[in-house]
Structure 1
Amino acid sequence: MSDTSSTTNGPAPSGSTLPRREGYDYDRSVLRSKLTTVERTPGSAKPDPILTVDNVVRRFGGMTAVDVGHVEVQRGAITALIGPNGAGKTTFFNLLTGFDKASSAPTAFKRGGPGVAKWVFEGRAMGNVGAAKVARSGMVRTFQLTKALSRLTVMQNMLLGAKDQPGENFFVAIVAPLWRKREREIEAKAEDLLARFKLLEKKDDFAGSLSGGQRKLLEMARALMSDPAMIMLDEPMAGVNPALTQSLLGHIQSLRDDGTTVLFVEHDMHMVRHISDWVIVMAEGRIVAEGPADTVMDDQAVIDAYLGAHHDTDLGDDSLLDDATLEQLEEEVAREDAARAAEATSASSSTGGVAGRDLPGHPDPSTPQATNAADDQLSDGRQSGDKR
């Protein structure tokens, strides 16, 4: 597996302004050495889990969207959560971060025991905890569709992400020397993060004026305002201009190097192979595989979950498209072309054989008359547009 991140305990990557976590001594080779001892089975125990999840089930009517018996996330690692569309990945994120409630959540009549949802983050039970409290505890997330407040400036969006705001305490808010100092600290931190994500020049622009990729960067920067222990990224590369992709990859790797645990959902398998320390695979709401990226991509359960019978998805490895697969694809395309041709013939017959003829006012599009008519219409449209 290729990787461009540092494997030393030296300074954080260039441009990073976040201090390393207290007592955190990062060495990726040591981390990966620890992970080599982990079993390659769903729900395997990790050497130092920051998040442990048990019995999380979410049903919508008669459909079970999530049914996770047990899973652990390794502290200090970049863990990818992958799976086909509809696997339940985003719903799982929503449950863990307090944006949705598990069907198996504790109730007044059943607070614990077998089958009751329980997830523990940094030693603290997080079941039935609201999204705001989850974020304050150190577990933050971004969204597949960015949630930037478009009518606020970039800087104002950043300030909203800070914890210990002066206005949260009435007595601090009315004593100017107390809140002014904290306000300056928050603004300085926001500027540092904006500089890190190359958005400082945009700080006074409305967030709605940013490109899709810049909004992704803003959302990630805003999430870091609360100094999280773990950040959960929901498809960080979705809709991002290729020019920003490498920048986002570098930021995600630097988060890990600074001591932040990263759990992300992504469909770009090349990215998953490139930066992931560990991969967890979901299909139909369940965890079906775990392991290093190279191992997981060769797992038959993963291939079946992604490819099914059609084998039309590349899991980041071009060798999957072997001769047999290409022949199968060519046969399927040929069958589809034949079906479309048959439909076109049937449609022509049903119109009484008029297809392809010149109808009054509708010349055959392949004739010079049709071309001249189209040019005349275009010219007329331009003239009318000039008059407007």
Structure 2
Amino acid sequence: MLRILRGLAHKYFSDEEAVILFLILVTGTVFVIWFGAMLAPAIASLIIAFILQGLVTKLTKLGVPEVVSIVSVFLVFLGILVGVTFGLLPLIWTQLSNLAGETPRIIGELQTYLELLPEEYPQLISADAVNTLYQQVSTEVGHMTQWLVSFSLSSIPDLVALLIYMVLVPILVFFFLKDREVLLGAIGRLLPPQRPMMLQIWHEVNLQCANYVRGKAVEILIVGGATYVAFKLLGMPYAALLSLLVGLSVVIPYIGAAVVTIPVAMIGLFAFGWGSHFIWVMVIYGVIQALDGNVLVPVLFSEVNNLHPVAIIVAVLFFGGIWGLWGVFFAIPLATMLKAVFAAWPVKDYVPPPTVKES
């Protein structure tokens, strides 16, 4: 056993830089798990600044002074933040409350529809199975309604925290953009002066994660916006709420689109019935999903290394279980980072010491 451990240590940790990088990864992971909730505004600000830095760099390359680029991009971000906070969020909350109020009617129509199934398809489904399914659906909807009521009653502390975040996050984003080089230089002074492996990993991760995160933010805006416009033109109820779900569904490849199709189809079916209007809604929704997967994704993520679907699903499950929604969003960048680390990790063949023959 000792010889096996010695061989692994020699193969993977014989390089001093590899040992330092391993300690950094372990320390950073433990730090985020333990203090992630406490430092959520700083982490969110760092992520937003990372996304906005691409726009600052592009403006600087076009000849715009760096200070002007930073201030311009920050003002655009501030305008979007104010618009989302005072425009989109109240609209979504209103539609969510209206949907909760419409739930009894939807449940009643669902019960009527389910009661017809045993008569039309007696060989496939029985009345007992329909009653069991209806009771389960009613129970789940009741739990959801109670959660909405309790959430609205206990949301005052959350509103206070939201107000604090609205003040802290813009300030931190501005300083992360303004003092980017100073902060990176301070971190670099803590690392060894000769760090070719770390620089290689940093370059690869910075390129891949930057392209992915910025591309994913643009994809959410385009898909969500296109869905909202289409649903409003078609008279789809709860258009803002559904378009938000559709936009956020692109965060989870393969799974998100399949899951969000269920509420879109259910609300469309209860709103328009089984007819041409409902079919048009689903066709246009399918066209948006097809354009997203076959046109938008290849354009936005042409420079991002593709991961195997199994690796993506495992990364979403693993990092989502650790860090929740943020882990789901950054599952693919984190998996890409691990891929870059494994690719650049120095590996040496273990040569066992020669055995001494007994005379």
Q: Same fold (TM over 0.5)?
A: no
Larger RCO: Structure 1 or Structure 2 (Cα < 8 Å, ≥ 6 residues apart)? 2
Larger helix percent: 2
Q: TM-score, normalised by structure 2?
A: 0.24
Alignment TM-score, normalising by the size of structure 1: 0.22
Greater strand proportion: 1
